[in-house]
Amino acid sequence: DVKVTQSSRYLVKRTGEKVFLECVQDMDHENMFWYRQDPGLGLRLIYFSYDVKMKEKGDIPEGYSVSREKKERFSLILESASTNQTSMYLCASSLRIGEQYFGPGTRLTVT
């Protein structure tokens, strides 16, 4: 079975802090994704990567950056956390069209 792990289930940070969210997948998938999930809005794509060191902006990249130095690891960075970035963050990886495998999520609270 594909396993996608995220470094933290819950995280509390202060406004202005730099935040790193880590995601690791163990199935050699080319593609990895970062979403944020908010009630009533579903999932919104922040960034995705289709290869090592390659990245593409999603629908809401503002305030975020990403890093993919190794195939199995995809990091989401909040350069200066703000309260409107309080959300559930989901990482996913995929090999086939639309078939994404998700991690358990990181619930981030920015105070």
Give the binding site for another protein (CB under 8 A): 4, 30-31, 40-43, 45, 48, 50, 56, 58, 90, 92, 94-105
Instruction: Report in angstroms the alpha-carbon separations of 15 from 63, 67, 81.
Output: 13, 22, 5
Rounded Cα distance between 74 and 24, Å, is 7
Tokens standing for residue 11 = 């995280």
Q: Please, which residue, 73 or 107, has the CB nearer to another protein?
A: 107
Tally of CB atoms within 10 A around 95? 13
Q: How far is the CB of 6 from another protein (least distance, A)?
A: 8
The CB-of-82 to another protein minimum distance in angstroms stands at 23
Q: Please give the structure tokens belonging to residue 18.
A: 């730099």
Q: Closer to another protein by CB, 66 or 92: give it.
A: 92
State the minimum distance, in angstroms, from the CB of residue 11 to another protein.
Answer: 15
User: Is 87 or 94 the residue whose CB approaches another protein more closely?
Assistant: 94
Other beta carbons within 10 angstroms of residue 109's beta carbon come to: 13
Minimum distance from residue 79 beta carbon to another protein (Å) = 24
